[in-house]
Structure 1
Amino acid sequence: MLQTAFSRYINNFRGFSREIWILAIITFVNRAGTMVLPFLTKYMREDLKFSYEQIGTVMVFFGLGSALGSWLGGRLADKFGFYKIMVGSLFTSGCLFFAIQYARSFESLCFAMFGIMLIADMFRPAMFVSIGTYAKPENRVRAFTLVRLAVNLGFAAGPAMGGLIIMGIGYRGLFWADGTTCIVSILAFALLVKEKKKTAVAHHQDENEPDTSIWKDKVFLIFLFISFAVSMVFFQILTTLPLYHYEKYGLTEFQTGLLLTFNGLLVFLFEMPIVGFCERKNIDKLRPVFLGALCMVLGFVVLLFDGWAGVLLINIVFLSFGEIFAFPFSNGFVQNRAPKKKAGAYMGLYTMMFSLAHMLNSKIGMGIVSNFGYMANWGFMAAFGLFACGLTAYVMKLTAEEVR
């Protein structure tokens, strides 16, 4: 029985191209070094002594840079190719991470965060387009899931190591680690993976594709808002939740890191089998997105019962399964809907929603916590997630009408 289950699990990892495996490995290296983000709000609060409002404002600049970078990265990927954008973005942002530790005033950190995220987040839409290029059509969702697993394995290792680095040499060590891994991972990618050029047939097919405007795609535009809403709820895990761990229950950076590590391990164990099952059963990609949004709602409902520290673990479990169901299938939905010659533009707008979620989740979350307390924030996030569930059901109805 155990051997059969293990064999089925391993079978989910078969059939990927060499390029997809290399992309997954360098993504793991890069993400393991991304130790700054989970501790960014704590760094500003405890090391730089910023107020809640200042932290929220810095994160707005973080989100603005990320949103503009995502949009620009998608456009440039369509024009110049995903490969050049990936290499240029990650190498430059790695260098910038070395410098950002010296921005310690409120104004300089706002400017620095905007600049680094503008460059760094050009990478994401280009990477999504690369997955669609290097993966086979029948396993694109699984290929994206493989790369997400690499992200989450890195995320599992990174926060725990980050907590140890903070206790050992301080917050500045995180910036050196992040910059180094950005540069090492993208240099490895450039050495091991060659740029894939379009064939004459593929180019001809793209040219003959109908040139419809993104802004006339009603289903896609509604889905963008769903992606934003689900992401804004989930990203509390990187902003208000770490502060809540410390201020309500007295958790250390290392203990918060362990909770985030548990999130990464749950995703590693369950995401690929769930995605593989849904692909084999040909389940509509919007159904798991709906279930993921519902899990996130439950994750914040449990925090309303704050008399027991165990709710923090239950919260992480619900958020983890929300992530497992929502994110890989939302990416697959966008990839399937995007015309080939506008894949970068579609992915750019899609990833832009994550950036806007980072920006507004921080500002709104910190503002609610500052004025009304943590319980009000958890209630708001649960209600917003429930609204995303309703919109997902509506989009499912619209897509069903399209195929009739």
Structure 2
Amino acid sequence: MSAVSALTARGLSRTVWILVIARAVNRIGAFTLPFLGVVLAVELKASLGQVGLILAVFGAATIPSRLLGGQLADRLGRRRTIVLGLAGCAVAQLWIALSHVLWSAVLATILLGLAFEIYEPPSQAMIADVTEPEDRPAAYGLYSAALAAAGVLAGLLAAAISHWDLRWLFVADAITCLSCAALVALALPADVRRERPADRPAAVWRDRRLLLLLAGGTVFATIYMQLIIGVPLTLLEQGLPKSGTGIILAVSAVTLIVAQRVLRVQHLDDFRAIAIGYLLVAAGLVVSAVAHGLSVFLLASVLWSLGELFLLTRYLTQASGLAPDEARGRYLAVFGLSWGIATTIAPITVTQLLKSAGPAGLWLTTAGAAVVLAALQPWFRKRLAPAGP
């Protein structure tokens, strides 16, 4: 099916909508991760040091998970890989729920990490497969907005279910994974047989443009993760209520959803849109640096959320545009490593900057990095331009 025929008269294709719905439902169920450390410590009597090490191993396992997802997406097929990743997550979640000794939970956590990111490369690649390049920002924007909305509902469900035995959280997440796997298997089109790529997998790593894009995407992902980690700590430092974090996340999600519906920025090219996105993020970070009340943090969240919308959609558009059709899954998997790297870096940078410079120093430093990336977009434009004949 061509990209043109995939677009319906009312907008994005049925395939895109199914992927968005499946990912959103799965995101609603994915509220277990923040509670994994609690289960390890309370239910299985792990020490604080052991909990930190186990969670670090989980994070490390997500890196090969994404690479595996890219390889399987190009070789096994998009739909099969999505179903495999979701089923793997379900098995791991049920294993954690049934574990009564620490070593069993550790093995289950490693399996969860290895399955956790398999879904992303094939789903992102499939969106690119069925959309024209000019429509991809809208498709990826819808994808990210749906995840944001589902994340808010996930938090509410987690708060409700966590009053019972925490193991039920993992059972609920396993059920949503299996439900999404069934939806994908039944509703998405069958995998198209693709020609085996003539190049070896290592050729992906020799694409200098992809590696440059990975570097830029890692900076964005690190800024994003610093917000996720740093905002709750900043509120704590400012003596604001813990519930403020949930309110800020809700406002951020609403901003993404409304902006996706209202903003018409398809006429902007990727580099100009990315520059605008970084400037909006920087503005939100500067406001965060001077904020001492929840209302000011809410204003900041609107600004940085608008910026994230520009950045996430355009980076994915660029990554999918660099890739040849037969290697798109692997390209998106390599680009997606930016999130694994950022998840490792951000906790260190946030805690060290908070310790040495306080909240103002943290957010002003991060804003400076965003401004530098905005200024570098003309340089990126030249380096990422297609090679001449």
Q: TM-score range by the shorter chain?
A: 0.7 to 0.9
Indicate which of 351, 362, 369 corresponds to 2:347: 362
Q: Hey, what's the Cα distance between the residues in 2 that align with 1:12 and 1:271?
A: 19
Q: Hey, what's the Cα distance between the residues in 1 that align with 2:57 and 2:356?
A: 21
Indicate which of 266, 287, 293 corresponds to 1:308: 293
**Which residue in the other structure is 1:343 paired with?**
328
Q: Is the Cα contact below 8 Å between 2:290 and 2:360 reproduced in 1? A: no
Q: Hey, what's the Cα distance between the residues in 2 that align with 1:387 and 1:95?
A: 44
Q: Is the Cα contact below 8 Å between 1:302 and 1:311 reproduced in 2? A: yes
**Which residue in the other structure is 1:5 paired with?**
none
Post-superposition CA distance 1:276-329 (Å, at most 9, x none): x333x2x21122122222222233222222433323212311221121110011
Deviates more, 1:376-385 or 1:231-240: 376-385
**Which residue in the other structure is 2:214 paired with?**
224
Q: Is the Cα contact below 8 Å between 2:82 and 2:184 reproduced in 1? A: no
Q: Is the Cα contact below 8 Å between 1:145 and 1:271 reproduced in 2? A: yes
Q: Is the Cα contact below 8 Å between 1:290 and 1:389 reproduced in 2? A: yes
Matched, 1:278 2:265: yes
Post-superposition CA distance 1:315-350 (Å, at most 9, x none): 311221121110011111111111112111110111
SS of 1:278 mapped into structure 2: coil
Q: Hey, what's the Cα distance between the residues in 2 that align with 1:133 and 1:172?
A: 38
Matched, 1:71 2:67: yes
Matched, 1:134 2:130: yes
Q: Where in structure 2 are the equivalents of 1:254-273 lying within 5 Å?
A: 255-273=244-262
Q: Hey, what's the Cα distance between the residues in 2 that align with 1:54 and 1:375?
A: 32
SS of 1:249 mapped into structure 2: coil
Post-superposition CA distance 1:34-53 (Å, at most 9, x none): 223467789889998976x8
Report the residue type matching 1:14 in the other structure: R
Indicate which of 291, 297, 311 corresponds to 1:326: 311
Q: CA deviation at 1:159?
A: 1.9
Report the residue type matching 1:248 in the other structure: Q
Distance 1:128 1:15, change over 3 A: same
Matched, 1:394 2:383: no
Report the residue type matching 2:217 in the other structure: S
Q: Is the Cα contact below 8 Å between 2:92 and 2:109 reproduced in 1? A: no
Aligned pair count reads 382
Instruction: Please give the root-mean-square deviation of Cα atoms over the aligned residues, in Å.
Output: 3.6
Q: Is the Cα contact below 8 Å between 1:59 and 1:362 reproduced in 2? A: no
Q: CA deviation at 1:72?
A: 1.7
**Which residue in the other structure is 2:3 paired with?**
none
Q: Hey, what's the Cα distance between the residues in 2 that align with 1:379 and 1:233?
A: 12
Matched, 1:84 2:73: no
SS of 1:156 mapped into structure 2: helix
Q: Is the Cα contact below 8 Å between 1:38 and 1:159 reproduced in 2? A: no
Matched, 1:184 2:179: yes
Percent of aligned pairs sharing the same letter: 23
Q: Is the Cα contact below 8 Å between 1:223 and 1:392 reproduced in 2? A: no
Q: CA deviation at 1:105?
A: 9.8
Deviates more, 1:294-303 or 1:218-227: 294-303
**Which residue in the other structure is 2:25 paired with?**
29
Distance 1:288 1:87, change over 3 A: same
Post-superposition CA distance 1:14-71 (Å, at most 9, x none): 23222222222212211122223467789889998976x8776555433322221111
Distance 1:58 1:256, change over 3 A: farther
Indicate which of 155, 161, 164 corresponds to 1:169: 164
Q: Where in structure 2 are the equivalents of 1:286-301 lying within 5 Å?
A: 286-301=271-286
Matched, 1:353 2:338: yes
Distance 1:292 1:50, change over 3 A: farther
Distance 1:319 1:63, change over 3 A: farther
Q: CA deviation at 1:258?
A: 2.8
Gaps of 5+ in 1: 1-10
Report the residue type matching 1:177 in the other structure: A
Q: CA deviation at 1:126?
A: 1.2
**Which residue in the other structure is 1:8 paired with?**
none
Report the residue type matching 2:170 in the other structure: F
Q: CA deviation at 1:362?
A: 2.3
| TM-score when normalising by structure 2 | 0.83
- Structure of higher RCO (CA pairs closer than 8 Å, 6+ residues apart): 1
Q: Is the Cα contact below 8 Å between 2:80 and 2:191 reproduced in 1? A: no
| TM-score when normalising by structure 1 | 0.80
Q: Hey, what's the Cα distance between the residues in 1 that align with 2:184 and 2:36?
A: 27
Distance 1:288 1:369, change over 3 A: same
Report the residue type matching 2:131 in the other structure: A
**Which residue in the other structure is 1:195 paired with?**
190
Q: Where in structure 2 are the equivalents of 1:110-121 lying within 5 Å?
A: 113-121=109-117
Post-superposition CA distance 1:224-269 (Å, at most 9, x none): 111011111112343232343345334245x422321221111111
**Which residue in the other structure is 1:7 paired with?**
none
Q: Hey, what's the Cα distance between the residues in 1 that align with 2:155 and 2:326?
A: 38
Q: Hey, what's the Cα distance between the residues in 2 that align with 1:287 and 1:45?
A: 47
Distance 1:269 1:248, change over 3 A: same
